[in-house]
Structure 1
Amino acid sequence: MPPHCDTRDGPIAEAVSMALEAGNVNFILIWIPPDSEDEMKDVFERGLKARRLGKEAKEVADDWILETAVRLHRAGEGAPYTGIKPAGLDEGPVVPRAERAIESGDPEELLEFMRAAVDEELSRRFHLVSSAKDYDPDDVASGRRYVEAFIGFVVYSHHLHQHIVGR
């Protein structure tokens, strides 16, 4: 996944900001697994108390809450926690389109982009296997190029379908 949930401007950071502003940890809890709620609630409550101790304490408490939220979220995804990334990282072409679709209620821009990406990659792989298909049986290197292209096309197609249907 491109940098996103673990950035200072990602959705977890936004949830932490809303939670701190409202004094309501529930903005964060939706992003973490239920078995991590108690830890998050404890850190949030202790962080709220620490924030009252001055500017530096507030900054440390806010970072502690964010880091805890991201760590627990990542654990829920089965992903390692590797720290908080800076704001403004390149999220790639899909994440912004997906977020705009959610915000606008219209997925067409994302659908068009994804269809074009799938069409392009499947076509590229298909042309590789097609161009290697009529190899000379006495040219083992050419036969191997065909097999590599064949596997690349068939396995990619299979994995793509598995991802699409959620398997």
Structure 2
Amino acid sequence: MINTIMEMTAIKGLARKAALGLAVGMLLLAPVAAEAHCDTMDGPTVKDALKAMKTDNVNYALKWVQPRYEGEVTRAFNLSMKVMDINADTRNLAEQYFFEILLRDHRAGEGAPFEGVKPHGTPIDERVKAADRSIEEGNLKPLEHLVDKDKQPELERRFQRVMALRDFDVNDLEAGREYIEAYVQFFKFAEGEEDEHHGVHGHGGHEALHGQE
């Protein structure tokens, strides 16, 4: 009983921080790029966090963080799963707690600041949306008028690598992170940032939009 109370106190503390982040986000509703998209309630990281909780498989979430953060994220996941079914309030607190830990550690792995979870409906850059649609539809038509023609061959190369890697086993974290790395390079190029990156979790990386079944 004492442990449960302590666990709930910890969850409530981080959930309050998450709620503050959502409130601040509502005041800053300017379109965001992909690196900020991962911090939104509509973003891919939260979607995979929810899928992890629904399926009781933390690997949907672990591909978002460096191996050194796996222990902390797994502990947060287990704690959230332990208390989330007490009632509706604890479920919401447990979810916010897990989102907060996962996103914070993901951003830490990028060497980027984490400013809290942004709310549902946060505007997203059109190129981010188009890159998302391209992967969903399996072609680059959504991006063809948003990327210069001379860059199309390189965009195609990066896109094909994403498509080749996307059907990974969710329990193969190495494969999941390899997919994410390819996604980062595709996404950054689509946004006009042509510099090569040194790994999704080490230098401003983005995330896979689709958790794999």
Q: 2:55 aligns with which of 18, 22, 45?
A: 22
Q: What is the total number of aligned residue pairs between the two structures?
A: 124
What does 1:105-120 align with in structure 2 at a 5 Å threshold?
A: 105-115=138-148
Share of identical aligned residues, percent?
32
Whole-angstrom CA distance in 2 between matches of 1:56 and 1:90: 28
- Displacement after TM superposition at 1:39 (Å): 0.3
- TM-score normalised by L of structure 1: 0.68
Match of 2:133 among 82, 96, 100: 100
Does 1:56 pair with 2:65? Answer: no
Question: Which runs of 5 or more residues in structure 2 are unaligned?
Answer: 1-31, 152-188, 198-213
Q: How well do the aligned residues superpose, as a CA RMSD in angstroms?
A: 2.1
Structure 1 stretches lacking a partner, 5+ long: 119-159
Matched residues in 2 for 1:47 and 1:165: separation? Answer: 38
Give the 5 Å matches for 1:59-98: 59-98=92-131
The Cα shift of 1:62 comes to 0.5
Residue 164 (structure 1) aligned to one of 194, 203, 207: 194
Q: Which runs of 4+ in 1 moved over 3 A?
A: none
TM-score under structure 2 length normalisation: 0.54
The amino acid that maps onto 1:101 is S
> Within 5 Å, which residues of 2 pair with 1:114-153?
114-115=147-148
Shift of 1:109: 2.5
Give the structure with the higher percent helix: 1
CA offset digits 1:41-73 (Å, max 9, x no partner): 000001100112211111111100011111111
Matches of 1:165 and 1:48, distance apart in 2: 40
Q: Does 1:47 align with 2:80?
A: yes
The structure with the larger Rg is: 1
